[in-house]
Structure 1
Amino acid sequence: MDVTTAVLSRRSAHTLVEPAPNDEEFTYLLRAAATAPDHGQLRPWRWIPVRGEGRTALGRCLADDSPAPGLRRDQAAAKTRRAPLLATLVFRPVTDHRVPEWEQLAATSAMTGFLSLLLHARGFGSIRRTGKFTESEQARGLLGLQPTERLLGWLYIGTPGERQAPKRRKADDVTDRISVFAPELVTA
């Protein structure tokens, strides 16, 4: 699949089933995704793959941290079973560096976008999940995050449950998002 086709046909997959990439394939794809623009090559991120019963443990943790009663807690626990692989994205900015934190976060986002496209090109589906649980102290503890690290969410990964040919998106008209620079109009 060429890059343009991958970009125009990738969609968030809401139903994900086995198989997901195994650890070796996930690492291979991550190595490729890590070539995304990253000023200073800081790689201010790390991934924690959560599979199998790890998903159940994470689900219990999220349910325990949910203020909602009964059924809502069960729903919180079930969220982690929606995909065979939950790739947990952790932002770990390099402090006191000439590359500002916002640029490190941009590099992390670019790498995640590359990874989503690489997964799609391999026939896998993914969807990025964020929300209030990224602030969960219990989840941070369970996942072993350091005080300087930030939980950015999860990339749910698997094989799309709805087997349909990827539909190519129509590229939007973005001309209203382009400003022409005219130096002769700049006043000193």
Structure 2
Amino acid sequence: MSGALDAALARRSWSKVTDEAPTHEELLDFVAAAGRVADHKSLHPWRLIELRGADRQRLGRAINKAEGDKGTSSKPMRAPLLIAVVASYSKTHKVPRWEQEAVASGVAHVLSLVLDEAGWGVFWRTGDYTRSKAVAKAHGLKKNEELLGWLYVGGKPKRSRPTRRKGVDATRFVSRMPKS
């Protein structure tokens, strides 16, 4: 099998990670690879926001504010590095908004795949608060942007037995076009 196919088949979410994380410079290499996704008209309708240290606490306060709670949510503290995935839409009639969001989602998925392949534990967190004003403000989003979620990144913890993600039965999801 190919390296990409093997990496995709082995990928899984790591809901618990260690306090290690890739450096900013390493992250830039991973993002350069992820940015190669198919992108109609090469609009690059995405950007990423790197959250480390106190950034995660500010995000925790924004999440609680969005949920009507006081204090700081502990959710952003579950990984040493969070990567906010932002769809940054361009006004163009040639590339619809949904297609631009698909590109941003594709960047997030490829980034999670290359991070996993490089030995980092990754999981993608979303939630209703991704669309809240408090969380958007904390990230400095512009009017043409939406937060799609965060990649939580850290070290893969040592396990006595590796766990396997259940495979997909591809025959359930692939069909032929119906005959007219």
**How does 1:48-59 map onto structure 2 within 5 Å?**
48-59=49-60
Superposition deviation, residue 162 in structure 1: 4.4
Which stretches of structure 1, 4 residues or longer, exceed 6 Å deviation after superposition? Answer: none
Query: C-alpha displacement at 1:117, in angstroms?
Result: 0.8
C-alpha separation in 1, matches of 2:16 and 2:164:
19
Aligned sequence identity (%)? 38
Match of 2:89 among 93, 105, 116: 93
Contact 1:15/1:162 (<8 A) preserved: no
Q: Which amino acid aligns with 1:19?
A: E
**Which of 92, 113, 117 is the aligned partner of 1:117?**
113
Task: Give the equivalent residue in structure 2 for 1:155.
Answer: 151
Matches within 5 A, 1:7-26: 7-26=8-27
Post-superposition shift, 1:164? 5.7
Code of the aligned partner of 2:173 = R
Mind listing any 5+ residue stretches in structure 2 that lack a counterpart? none
Paired position in structure 1 for 2:127: 131
CA deviation after TM superposition for structure 1 residue 23, in Å: 0.9
**Residue type of the alignment partner of 1:149:** E
Aligned equivalents of 1:39 and 1:164: distance in 2?
Answer: 44
The C-alpha deviation readout for 1:51-71, integer Å capped at 9, x for no partner, is: 011111111222233225xxx
- CA distance in 1: counterparts of 2:133 and 2:93, whole angstroms: 27
Contact 2:86–2:104 under 8 Å retained in 1: no
Q: What is the TM-score normalised by the length of structure 1?
A: 0.86
Equivalent pair of 2:48/2:86 in contact (CA under 8 Å):
yes
Q: TM-score, normalised by structure 2?
A: 0.89
Instruction: Classify 1:167/1:37 alpha carbon distance in 2 versus 1 (closer, same or farther; 3 Å).
Output: farther
Q: Gaps (5+ residues) in structure 1?
A: none
Deviations 1:148-180 (A, max 9, x none): 111111111111234467555564323243332
Cα distance in 2 for residues equivalent to 1:166 and 1:92: 37
Q: Aligned pairs, how many?
A: 179
**Residue 176 and residue 66 in structure 1: after superposition, are their counterparts in 2 closer, same or farther (change >3 A)?**
closer
Specify the SS of the correspondent of 2:54: helix
RMSD: 2.1
Q: Deviations over 1:59-95 (max 9, x none)?
A: 1222233225xxxx56x61111000001011111111
User: Residue 176 of structure 2 aligns to which amino acid in structure 1?
Assistant: V
CA contact (8 A) 1:10 1:166 kept: no
Which one has the largest radius of gyration? Answer: 1
2:104 paired residue number: 108
Aligned equivalent of 1:180, options 151, 176, 180: 176
